[in-house]
């Protein structure tokens, strides 16, 4: 995907104000962006998630993957759903000292308020926004759907845009408990922005996330992600990103097969240096890499060799090389 088009999608989605349980603007923007995409059907489920289905040109083959990202971001919300001016609570993980010190720096959007920061800026190879987490994930899914739709590619897949992740995976848990994903035998790939922590480095490529703060994901899915990257010549980092828990953990708890991808995030949940609330930021190159990797993954949904079989074969071949040493076993060495 051309950088300009990706940034256009980014600008459109990042301009939408959002908060947990107030994802209406993002939802509407995603629907609008996907409207011209042929072979893409979009519906809203009972939990407020948006489910986009790309029907590949071989429509009878079932979807193997669902790319997943959440539409909300930590924000101030009116507890009674009326105007934010009267009373507000903060939903999402931001330390109390940051909330206390920056209380006045907000912008109201009816029943909720976000930090008063720019919605979208692109400079020095980075995207800055009040809400990279996880609108960047939503942008990548839209770009992937658009790309496959343009190509008329064969593989079917789902794009899941979930609700209220920041308060305990509300949309993801609703969907997981419905049993639909497990029943369809769909593998969920959680797309996230995750606090930059060593050894991951911003700008060094998208991250194949082997796990998060609370659990590790399916190692075969992780291997599939690595081989997709290798096939397409995309440089990736393979890391456990422990800065937070992502939706793969939530889905996994309900028996859904999961893997995860992310890009490194600066100023996680808007927490900048010196207790200042700041824009979050990601590397534009990492986001492009993540999009290319998602396109590669869903474009070739089957025909992937079993990664465990390949590894077993490689180890056994190697063992054969050393067989003669084994045969010459000299027993207990003599004392000098
Ligand atoms: Zn997130």
Q: For residue 179, how far is its CA from the centre of ligand 1 (angstroms)?
A: 23
Q: For residue 312, how far is its CA from the centre of ligand 1 (angstroms)?
A: 36
Asked: is 3-71+123-310 a CATH 3.40.630.10 domain? The reply is yes
Q: For residue 246, how far is its CA from the centre of ligand 1 (angstroms)?
A: 7
CA 15 to chain centre: 19
Structure confidence at residue 178 (pLDDT): 94
- To the nearest whole number, what is the mean pLDDT of the chain? 94
- pTM passes above 0.85: yes
Per-residue pLDDT reduced to its tens digit, 64-82: 999 999 999 999 999 988 8
Beta strand residue intervals within 71-172, DSSP E: 75-77, 89-91, 106-109, 112-115, 121-123, 126-129, 157-162
Structure letter (DSSP) for residue 200? -
Q: For residue 161, how far is its CA from the centre of ligand 1 (angstroms)?
A: 12
Give the pLDDT band (50/70/90) at residue 302.
low
Give the pLDDT band (50/70/90) at residue 155.
confident
Q: For residue 333, how far is its CA from the centre of ligand 1 (angstroms)?
A: 58
Q: For residue 134, how far is its CA from the centre of ligand 1 (angstroms)?
A: 5
Give the pLDDT band (50/70/90) at residue 60.
confident
Q: For residue 248, how far is its CA from the centre of ligand 1 (angstroms)?
A: 11
> What residues does 115 pair with on adjacent strands?
106
- The answer, yes or no, to whether residue 86 has pLDDT greater than 80, is no
- The answer, yes or no, to whether residue 285 has pLDDT greater than 90, is yes
Domain chopping of the chain, boundaries: 3-71+123-310
Give the pLDDT band (50/70/90) at residue 303.
low
Structure confidence at residue 84 (pLDDT): 85
Per-residue pLDDT reduced to its tens digit, 8-59: 999 999 999 999 999 999 999 999 999 999 999 999 999 999 999 999 888 6
Q: Is there a contact between 177 and 233 (Cβ–Cβ < 8 Å)?
A: no
């Amino acid at each position: 995907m051309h950088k300009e088009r990706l940034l256009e999608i980014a600008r459109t989605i990042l301009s939408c104000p959002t908060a947990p349980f107030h994802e209406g603007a993002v939802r509407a923007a995603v629907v609008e962006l996907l409207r011209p995409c042929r072979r893409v059907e979009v519906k809203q489920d009972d939990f407020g998630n948006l489910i986009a289905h790309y029907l590949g040109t071989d429509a009878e083959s079932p979807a193997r993957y669902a790319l997943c990202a959440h539409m909300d971001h930590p924000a101030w919300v009116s507890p009674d759903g009326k105007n934010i001016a009267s009373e507000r609570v903060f939903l999402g993980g931001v330390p109390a000292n940051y909330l206390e010190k920056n209380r006045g720096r907000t912008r109201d959007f009816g029943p909720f308020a976000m930090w008063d920061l720019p919605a979208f800026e692109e400079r020095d190879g980075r995207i800055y926004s009040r809400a990279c987490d996880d609108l960047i994930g939503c942008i990548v899914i839209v770009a992937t759907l658009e790309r496959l739709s343009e190509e008329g590619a064969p593989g079917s897949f789902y794009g899941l845009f979930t609700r209220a992740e920041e308060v305990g995976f509300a949309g993801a848990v609703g969907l997981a408990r419905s049993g639909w994903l497990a029943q369809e035998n769909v593998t969920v790939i959680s797309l996230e922005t995750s606090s930059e922590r060593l050894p991951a480095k911003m700008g060094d490529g998208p991250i194949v996330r082997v796990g998060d703060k609370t659990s590790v994901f399916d190692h075969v899915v992780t291997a599939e992600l690595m081989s997709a990257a290798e096939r397409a010549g995309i440089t990736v980092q393979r890391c456990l990103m422990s800065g937070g828990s992502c939706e793969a953990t939530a889905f996994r708890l309900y028996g859904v097969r999961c893997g995860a991808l992310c890009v490194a995030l600066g100023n996680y949940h808007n927490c900048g240096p010196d207790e200042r609330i700041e824009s979050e930021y990601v590397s534009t190159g990492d986001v492009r890499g993540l999009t290319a990797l998602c396109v590669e993954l869903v474009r070739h949904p089957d025909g992937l060799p079993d990664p465990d079989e390949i590894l077993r074969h490689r180890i056994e071949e190697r063992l054969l090389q050393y067989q003669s040493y084994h045969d010459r076993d000299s027993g207990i060495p003599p004392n000098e």
